[in-house]
């Protein structure tokens, strides 16, 4: 069971990371870059629980931090996505996961990423953070998360049901 689960998570991460870095990062949309990785971390955490969600978030964050497109502190996104993966799964009981609640969790998670990056980078001494742009980044990050949620959560949920039905919460 765990092998299929690991292969599924690795495959999803590879596709998500490729789309994030090659397509979404180059769209030139106003505000934040749509964060497909944060949405996938929430989806995996909902499907498999906080332990797998946190592990997936950490690996996704490290893969993003080591990608050539990133120039920030190594491990920062790994820490943020780990926390999102650990909190998103148990945040909402499986019986209470209605569409508005799931969308709200995705919006808060996607909006929290740019805010947390700005706070931690400033705390680490990075002077390049423009605090005038942070509210715009948070709002657009949350909005893009809401737009991406219907495109990411159902396919990941379907894959989990088909490939690892015994691992469902």
Could you give the domains of the chain? 2-167 (1.10.1760)
Tokens of 87: 């909190």
Does 72 or 109 have the greater pLDDT score?
109
Q: List pLDDT tens digits, range 104-115.
A: 999 999 999 999
pLDDT of residue 168: 61
pLDDT of residue 28: 83
pLDDT of residue 116: 95
Q: List pLDDT tens digits, range 90-145.
A: 877 767 778 888 999 999 999 999 999 999 999 998 888 888 999 999 999 999 99
Please check the confidence at residue 156 and state whether its pLDDT lies above 80: yes
- This prediction's pTM: 0.91
Q: Three-state secondary structure along 69-94?
A: CCCCCCCHHHHHHHHHHHHHHHHCCH
């Amino acid at each position: 069971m765990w092998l299929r689960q690991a292969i599924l998570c690795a495959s999803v991460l590879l596709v998500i990371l490729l789309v994030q870095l090659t397509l979404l990062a180059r769209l030139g949309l106003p505000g934040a870059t749509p964060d497909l990785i944060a949405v996938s971390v929430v989806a995996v955490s909902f499907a498999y629980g906080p332990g797998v969600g946190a592990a997936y978030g950490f690996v996704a964050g490290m893969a993003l931090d080591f990608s050539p497109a990133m120039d920030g502190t190594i491990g920062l996104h790994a820490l943020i996505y780990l926390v999102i993966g650990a909190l998103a799964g148990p945040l909402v009981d499986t019986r209470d996961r209605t569409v508005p609640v799931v969308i709200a969790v995705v919006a808060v998670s996607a909006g929290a990423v740019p805010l947390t990056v700005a706070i931690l980078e400033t705390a680490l001494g990075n002077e390049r953070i423009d605090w005038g742009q942070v509210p715009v980044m948070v709002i657009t990050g949350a909005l893009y998360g809401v737009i991406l949620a219907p495109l990411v959560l159902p396919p990941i949920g379907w894959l989990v049901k088909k490939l690892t039905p015994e691992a469902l919460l």
